[in-house]
Amino acid sequence: MLAPFGLAPIIWNGIMTFIVLIYIMSVIKFMDVLVSKGFPQDVSRKIVHIAAGSWIIFWPLFDPSDWTVYFNIAVAVLWTLLFIVKGLTATPEDTAVKTMTRTGDPKELLYGPLMFTLVMEVCGTIFYMDFRGIAAMAVVGWGDGVAPLFGSRFGKHKYSILGNEKSVEGSISVFLFSLIALMGFSLVLVPNMVLADFNAFILKALIISSVATLIEAISPKNIDNILVPASVILTIMFLPF
């Protein structure tokens, strides 16, 4: 959309950046409060993960007529810097450590969380309002985000690929939530592409979700936030339709 109310694009995009910042920080603060009251840390971590991946819902609200449209990644850049600093210097009592790590070790911030913000930055610049960026964020945000929760709580049927133990239930959740998120975000962000050939879109979404499920199953935990979205982007690029 173009900047409304006669505002200059740089002003409007600055306002939208502030709104995205409020959105992300509110989720983190809310989760921190819940964790302090005994809310499961692993669930908190994944809610923040999913909320961050859903930031693409703000994309259409930025004005793309000006270079400041790339302000959309400002929050991701901020957290990239914070994760580096906190990963090297923070204590286990730090808010980011408590809400975004599995074990409370600050160094975990230098792996999955840091990689996630880097993916956000790539998608928000190179693949802004592009189906490849939308699909990558939908899958890494929701499919890869929900899987550990289902796997740890309902994963009774285990299997191992390349030394990585996963569960059938967790992998099913990767597929289903990747597919649902991919379809939902695409309908909102690029409806013309979806409706131009709905049957082809559904087939494409099924293939992408299947590839993401496979890659998530074989990826080491520390780098799945890079491998999963990269596999999605490459799959779309090589699909013949």
Residue-wise pLDDT for 170-188, tens only, equals: 889 999 999 999 999 999 9
Q: What angle do CA 157, 163, 168 make, to 5 degrees?
A: 20
Same domain, 102 and 185: no
* Residues spanned by the domain of 203: 130-241
Same domain, 122 and 170: no
Give the residue-averaged pLDDT of 108-133. 94
Give the residue-averaged pLDDT of 126-151. 90
Same domain, 83 and 138: no
Which pLDDT does position 13 carry in this prediction?
A: 96
What does the DSSP assignment read for 104-116?
S-GGGGGTHHHHH
Residue that is last in its domain, among 97, 127, 157? 127
126: tokens are 């190179």
Of the candidates 104, 107, 101, 76, the one whose C-alpha atom is nearest the C-alpha of residue 89 is 107
pLDDT exceeds cutoff 70 at 152? no
Query: The whole model's pTM is what?
Result: 0.90
Domain count along the chain: 2
In the block, tokens 């819902």 appear at 57
27-41, 111-125, 153-167 — most confident range: 111-125
- H-only helix segments in the chain: 9-36, 41-53, 74-89, 95-100, 112-125, 131-138, 144-154, 168-189, 191-196, 198-218, 224-238
Amino acid found at 201: F
For residue 210, CA distances in Å to 116, 178, 214 come to: 21, 9, 6
Could you report the per-residue pLDDT of 197-218, keeping only the tens digit for each? Answer: 999 999 999 999 999 999 988 8
Give the residue-averaged pLDDT of 53-66. 95
pLDDT exceeds cutoff 90 at 128? yes
- Helices 41-53 and 9-36, interaxial angle, to 10°? 170
Which of helix, strand or coil describes residue 82? helix
Same domain, 119 and 25: yes
Which pLDDT does position 204 carry in this prediction?
A: 96
Partners of residue 201 on adjacent β-strands: none
35-44, 48-57, 131-140: lowest mean pLDDT where?
Answer: 35-44
